[in-house]
A and B are shown apart, each in its own frame.
Chain A
Amino acid sequence: MTDVVTAPAAEVTVAHGRGELPPWRLLLRRPTFIVGAAILLLWVVCAVFGHAIAPQDPLAQQLLATNKAPSAAHWFGTDQIGRDVFSRVIVGARSILLIAFFATLLGTVAGTALGLAMGYLGGAIDIVGGRIVEAVLALPLVIVAFMFVVAIGSSPLTIIIVIGLVFTPLIARTVRSAVLVERQQDYLASARLVGEKRAYIMFVEVLPNVLPVVLVEFTVRLGYAIFTIASLSFLGFGVQPPTPDWGADIGANYGVLPAGYWWMTLFPALAIASLVIAINLVTDSIEQVLAS
């Protein structure tokens, strides 16, 4: 053991010799990510500082200026009771983003834990979990959410819990299949040999390796959550008036579309669309970077 068998110093040169960039650097090189992230960031800023940014009070009714088309004074026009649509769109970002974020977070955390358990432990938990996933998959998300909100009564917390619970088995299913791939790996056999406990193996050994999958699931589900929340609001079961809310504003104003008052529907609708598209662009970029 005294002689140096190989020259270790020379062996190191290969380490990352391929000039590989860390994943976040690769993301920043993608135009789709830049565009998506910029739009998303814009809405986040609106959600956080909405009242400061909005040129007018989103709740103030200007009864002398109802149904005004977009102009220099009201960029997005005014609604049927004379509120500034531009200000309502900006301030409206808060409720939808907050609810969607927490609902998705809840679903991701719970779904990841369930998926880890189903995939790693297998057995009864996998069988029962699998049936629940199939049952949830058979039901349209909006209808389930609608049922719960009608039964329990609407509040942001209810919506967060309902959407989170519906997401849980869906995310669990994806995480489970990623865990099954990891289960084939020898490092788990090594960990068992060292005497690691099951919880340690699941959360310290396996979880970091399925995190990319979890991240993609989170962004995908975030898009769905926004759509669901907007739909519930549109149907009148989301955020209650007069709080500015994109879905609710569309619901309140689409009736006057035939009268030619298109702006009060179009701008909140564009807001929803841009947010969902931005999230999808970010998701796609993350997926592509992780796959490369």
Chain B
Amino acid sequence: MTATEAAAADSLGELTPMLEVEHLEVTHRVRGHDRRALRDVSFQIGRRESYGLVGESGSGKSTVALALTRYLPRNGRVTGGRISISGQDPLAMDGAALRELRARTVSMVYQEPGKALNPSIRVGRQVAEVYEVAGLDGSVAQDKAEAMLRTVQISDPGRVMGLYPHQISGGMAQRVVIAMALAAEPSLLILDEPTTALDATVEAEVLDLVAALRQDFATSVLFISHNLAVIAKMCDRVGVLYAGELLEEGPAQQLFEEPRHPYTVGLLRCIPRRGQRKDAGRLDTIPGFLPSPGHTLPGCVFAPRCPIAEQRCREAPPPAFPVGPARTSRCYLHDATADLPRNTPVDVQLPSSRDATETVVTLRDVSKTFTHGGESVRALVGVNLSLERGETLGLVGESGSGKTTLARALLGLIAPDDGSDVELEIVFQNPDSALNRRHTVRRLISRPLAKLAGLSGARLRERLADLIRSVRLEERHLSLHPSQLSGGLKQRVAIARAFAGGPRIVVCDEPTSALDVSVQAAILNLLADLQSKEQVTYLFISHDLGVVRYLSDRIAVLYLGKVMELGPAENVFAAPHHPYTEALLSAVPSIDGQRADRIRLHGEIPSAANPPSGCVFHTRCPRRLSSGICETTEPPLEEVAPGHLMSCHIPIDQLTIVQRTEQDGD
């Protein structure tokens, strides 16, 4: 809220904050034991203010939202503190008042739009229902619903009204959910990870929409996310949650620029930012783990992982120290956070010289066509790539662009129509799915050692010990099952298994996207270290462009199964780049403030069953040429600089000029 807005609010007599939470404590009862999920959480959201709660998994973000609307699970209850929504206390409400509160005052938008909509009821019916609950007639409600769908920028709302949820895309579904949330004209809108399940380009659109609607509807917003950049973009003020406690609070920009709690500092250092790359040094990490739920730490909850913790930190919980205008930090040492020591030494000797290149695999004109419901879907079209020894090729593109198909074609798991087939290994996104939960770590890693490396007996045990040491697991982990390990440790087991056969190429398919930020950094460091030691080649797939940039030497940008751009990472990330790359980059919110000039992609990736004519990107291209050549002729993939290829009709000089405003990169 700006100062003038605040003054306006005051003059309207809206002095009470929209939401006041004081010393909130929530306890879950699990198998006869009380486990505190939230401890002493206090914050306020002003009228028309947007407040962000950021935290890793297990921090209690969603518990806050559930407590506010009294949707806590059956075994959870508020055991202390006070909540006030517009002066009303939901904790003291009876059933009718609570329904009224949920129907009119507070609305929620969840992560999975697909689960928030009833699959068997048409979209229009579901939106209209909100109006009918508010007491409007059927036909009026229908009209209102259609108008609301138009408000959330659904083109052709009349048609969308008649569709079932499975017939619309994820981004569209989330717009419908937002429309339903806003239809009740709530004073408080709670968004719980609303864009986490969406592609970056769609996320950007939805975030723009939420920002615009917040102005129009004058609602207060509680925005919950694990993504610091999204919070930085969307929120006026931010609270950092950790293990059920609000460790730091303050205006978003200030808090991210000058964090005053060691946890916030650590979190920000874990993220590859400002074009940071692997050869510039390791990422910092936060060692250790979130305290287990139900812990009884007498002092600061972060003390066990804090590099500067002192005796007093372990003895008594620090109060919320005021550390500036409207800023607090629950840290005794909040003055020492600016030069917090690193947990991970930055020093690395990564061989930046890959001059003596040796090609390990070449893909020549690889295509893959699936038959789906009688239609043939071209997932890959004439892809030419070569992978060099010891390099990382990053693969980026929206869902449906063919990233995973390319990786799997390479793996030979899907037989390519034509092209080559090599022995290689893969690290999957989700270690829970990638590791057989009935096998022990020892068995999971030993089996490929026996099968692929042909080892047995003492030599197998020796190599096994080597491997687990190099992924920083310990001897005692060997007898455990995956369910007994944390997400980060599981991913280490998966990486050890991938390296067991001594592969020349390892495909990393979103290896860190199921992990928390602090764990992600350790895994990225590990991957970089292993690569420099083993001279292995990575094909690295990630939707997180910061992560791709950190690890990749070269980057291939895919769209509808075609390579749009291919080149050294720094060339691809810096202008001039392909308009699609440009759009992908500008879709990504940044913690370090926004670019001045942004281009947006509208709509979603077209169906690969019926790809557009000419340049496949022309239907969404913001820089399409007026001559019409983009619609009719497919641009060849041409070298625009040494090793930098691009498939675009726009001459490179012209692209350089129009994109110059973003020359600085990040």
Contact = CB atoms under 8 A, between A and B. Distances in A.
User: Number of contact residues on A: which range applies?
Assistant: 20 to 34
B522 A18 contact: no
A194 B447 contact: yes
A195 to B, nearest CB: 6
A14 B486 contact: yes
A12 to B, nearest CB: 7
B285 A3 contact: no
Given A14-B486, A187-B436, A209-B436, A5 B289 contact: no
B526 A5 contact: yes
Contacts of A128: none
A264 to B, nearest CB: 48
Contacts of B526: 5
Nearest to B524: A5
B239 interface: no
B500 to A, nearest CB: 9
Interface string B426-439: 10101001111111
Given A187-B436, A189-B426, A10 B529 contact: no
A194 B498 CA distance: 10
B98 interface: no
A14 B480 contact: no
A17 interface: yes
A129 B513 CA distance: 40
Contacts of B439: 208
B289 A11 contact: yes
B293 interface: yes
B126 interface: no
Contact of B289 (A4, A10, A186): A10
A9 B285 contact: no
B292 interface: yes
A6 B522 contact: yes
Interface in A1-27: 1, 3-19
Contact of B484 (A8, A16, A187): A16
A71 interface: no
Contacts of B477: 12
B292 A18 contact: yes
Contacts of B635: none
Given A5-B282, A11-B486, A194-B447, A186 B434 contact: yes
Interface in B385-440: 411, 413, 425-426, 428, 430, 433-439
Given A1-B533, A14-B292, A6 B484 contact: no
A194 B501 contact: yes
A195 B448 CA distance: 9
Scoring A5, A8, A16, A189 by chain B CB atoms within 10 A of each residue's CB, the highest score goes to A5
B428 A186 contact: yes
A6 B344 contact: yes
B472 A15 contact: no
Interface of A is mostly: helix
Contacts of A17: 292
B358 to A, nearest CB: 22
A131 interface: no
B430 A186 contact: yes
A192 interface: yes
Given A187-B433, A189-B426, A192-B413, A3 B289 contact: no
Interface residues of B, number: 55
B168 interface: no
A186 B292 contact: no
A6 B425 CA distance: 25
Given A12-B474, A14-B289, A190 B344 contact: no
A127 B435 CA distance: 30
A187 B484 CA distance: 17
A205 interface: yes
B451 A194 contact: yes
Interface in B477-506: 477, 480, 484-486, 488-489, 497, 501
A193 interface: yes
A194 B452 contact: yes
A187 B344 CA distance: 32
Contact of A10 (B282, B288, B497, B530): B288
Scoring B430, B447, B525 by chain A CB atoms within 10 A of each residue's CB, the highest score goes to B447
A134 interface: no
A57 interface: no
Contacts of B33: 19
B289 A8 contact: no
Nearest to B451: A194
B504 to A, nearest CB: 14
Contacts of A18: 30, 292-293
Interface in B27-55: 30-31, 33
A196 B443 CA distance: 14
A208 B481 CA distance: 13
A5 B473 CA distance: 11
A72 to B, nearest CB: 46
A132 to B, nearest CB: 28
Contacts of A19: 31, 33
B426 A193 contact: yes
A7 B306 CA distance: 13
B472 A209 contact: no
Interface string B319-361: 0000000000000000000000001110100000000000000
Nearest to A21: B31
Nearest to B533: A1
A15 B448 contact: no
B152 to A, nearest CB: 33
A275 B582 CA distance: 71
Contact of A190 (B304, B497, B530): B497
B287 interface: yes
A205 B292 contact: no
A5 B522 contact: yes
A9 B344 CA distance: 15
Contacts of B476: 12
Given A3-B347, A185-B433, 10 more contacts: A6-B522, A7-B287, A8-B472, A12-B477, A15-B486, A18-B292, A19-B33, A184-B433, A185-B434, A193-B425
7 contacts: A5-B526, A10-B288, A12-B489, A13-B289, A15-B486, A186-B433, A190-B434
Interface of A: 1, 3-19, 184-187, 189-196, 205, 208-209, 211
